Amino acid sequence: MRRFLFYLSPIIFAIGVFLLIIALFYSKSTGKGALQVTSIPKSKVYLDGKYVGETPLCDCDTNALLPVKSYDLKLIPEKSGLEEFDYKIDINPSVLTVVDRTFGPVGKSSGSVITLDKLGDNTKAQIFIASFPYSAKVSIDGENTGTAPLTQTVTASDHDITVSHDGYSNKDIKIHSVDGYKLDAIIFLATSDSSSKVSSSPIASPSPTVAQSSVKILETPTGFLRVRDNPSLGGNEVGEVNPGEIYPLLSEQSGWYEIKLSSGSAKSGWISSTYAQKQ
């Protein structure tokens, strides 16, 4: 029965009808947490570079729980020509972390990463929403709440969330907030058909060098921003930069900035423009 509670079909995720997170699924903290991953189409799942199975995947049984820490999650869709997903997730004690992904060509994928964080006040429930792209509009239960990232105090119950941005398709999800916890929802939007055409190639030629320009790193859900060796989520990580830091801008292309690094083995690298602001 417990496994059934944790299992959600990819079809349910795809239409955004229901998403449930259960905190404290044991009477005492186990010191471990659960992970559920669904995707359309099916994908191979890797944690810290190790293959752990295919979607739908649910490490929810007692003998399958994961140690509490941050993991590098990578999803590789079974169909070619679709954009891989590479993201750092947190497994929290006695909490289910839910990852949902609908794959498409570069720029056309969408999804969410949702988990819970313990609050100091057991009588309060909160929702934190961050978005890719930055500053997406957020509606909770039909009311405009603001732009992501944002934190909202809510009742401990079911809530309908809509995340939207010009040039992107809306993302609708249902969540269940819990007293004493902050529900963290990272929402990834797909570009809409009416937006500018996105190249199907994950790596494109950079534009000419941008003279006397720089970029400022914005706040991110993880507290840092990965630097990659090419402008793609599948690129190797060559470093990390922090919110508030400013770096020279070398070149840019749709969705990516190439910056000059001040330290580390790599002299330059690519960052997502979602969490960077050109100056």
Q: What is the pLDDT of residues 142-176, one digit of tens each?
A: 999 999 989 999 999 999 999 999 999 999 998 88
Least confident of 1-5, 136-140, 273-277: 1-5
- List % helix, strand, coil for the chain (3-state, nearest 5): 5, 50, 45
pLDDT at 227: 87
Place 260 in a pLDDT band, splitting at 50, 70 and 90: confident
Local confidence band at 136 (pLDDT 50, 70, 90 cut-offs): very high
Phi, psi of 63 (to 5 degrees): -80, 0
Q: Is the pLDDT of residue 45 over 90?
A: yes
* Sheet order of strands, 214-217 included: 237-241, 225-228, 268-272, 256-260, 246-253, 214-217, 276-278
Instruction: Reply yes or no on whether the pLDDT at 37 is more than 50.
Output: yes
Other Cβ atoms less than 10 A from the Cβ of 18: the count is: 14
* Terminal CA-CA length for the chain: 54
What's the pLDDT at 237?
83
Average pLDDT, integer, range 2-17: 36
Mean pLDDT, the chain, whole residue set:
79
**277 bridge partner residues:** 216
More confident residue, 262 or 149: 149
* Confidence (pLDDT) at 194: 54
pLDDT at 23: 42
pLDDT of 121 strictly over 70: yes
50: tokens are 């190790």
> The pTM is what?
0.66
Higher per-residue pLDDT: 196 or 222: 222
- Per-residue pLDDT, averaged over 6-35, amounts to 47
Convert the pLDDT of each residue in 171-213 to its tens digit: 999 888 889 999 999 999 998 875 443 333 333 334 433 345 7
What residue ranges define each of the domains in the chain, with the CATH number in brackets?
A: 2-188 (no CATH), 214-278 (2.30.30.40)
